[in-house]
Amino acid sequence: MRILLTNDDGIKAEGIIALAKLLHLEHEVTVIAPDTQKSACGHSITIYRPLTVREHKIEGLNCKCFSIDGTPADCVKMGINKLMEGNVDLIISGINDGLNVGTDVLYSGTVSAAIEGAIYKIPSIAVSMDRENGNINYKVAAMFIKKLLENVDVTSIGNDVVLNINVPNLEYSKIKGYKVCNLGTRIYSNIFIEKFSNEIERIFEIQGKPTDDAVENTDVCFINKGFITITPLHYDLTNFKLLKRVENEFKNEFLFK
C-alpha cells in the first residue's frame, strides 16, 4: 500500500520513526510531519502565511521524509495535493506520545490529521500510546499496526472513517487483547499557574491531570484494563438523536414573523 505517515509530535518524534521503520519494509511509505511539536492543535490549518517544506534523511528509513512548518492537517493536505504523486491508499497518524481517548479526540492533532484524510475519502488511522508506567516502547504499537494491516482490510471499513487506536504502555505479551468500543469521557482538572505578572500582562502555564469516567464498554474503561482500544470516528458531528426534536422546537419559523 501507499501510506502517508504523519503525526503531531514532529518529524523527529520517536513514535513516527518507530512506525515508519517497521512499515516501510512492506509498504511504500512517505513521512510528512510538522517540523516541531504540535500537540493539542486540533484541526487547525495555516492560511495567513506560506508553508515551508523541507526534505529529510532519517537514519534507518529508505523512504521520502518531509517536514512542514504547519499543523498535522496541513501535512495531510500538502501530502495528498502536492508531495505524493498518485493515489494515497492509507493515512496513518502517530504513534502519538500519550493517549487520545474519550474527549481527547476533540483537541488532538493526531486524530485531526487522520480526520483530514477521511475528509478526502482516504481510509485513515490514528494511533496513540499511553505514556504512563515509565518510558514508552513504541515498537508495541508499531507491531500492532503491522499485524492489523496484515489481517484486516481497513480500506473496506469505509473511506470516510477514522479508526482511533489507543495502546496501553505494556509489554506486548501483557496486553490483554483489543476491544472495539465507544468513546468515553476524559475531563482535565486544569490548573493555571501564574508564572509572571506586571502592570501590563500576566503569564499563565496550564497544568492538570485527566479525570476518567467509569462508564463500561468505552475506550477510557478498556485502556485502563490493559486492552488496546479501537473506535471508529466520523467528522460529521450531527447529533442525529436530537435532530427531530430540535426541528420540532423550531417549527414555528419565528424569525420571519
Q: Which residues are annotated as a binding site for a divalent metal cation?
A: 8-9, 39, 96
- By the 10 Å C-beta count (0-12 exposed, 13-18 middle, 19+ buried), 42 is classed as middle
The C-alpha atoms of residue 141 and residue 98 are separated, in whole angstroms, by 12
* Kind and range of the H or E run holding 139: helix 138-151
The C-alpha atoms of residue 255 and residue 247 are separated, in whole angstroms, by 14
The C-alpha atoms of residue 121 and residue 124 are separated, in whole angstroms, by 9
Rg for the chain, CA atoms, rounded: 20
The C-alpha atoms of residue 129 and residue 136 are separated, in whole angstroms, by 8
Binding residues: 8-9, 39, 96
* Helix%, strand%, coil% for the chain, nearest 5: 30, 30, 40
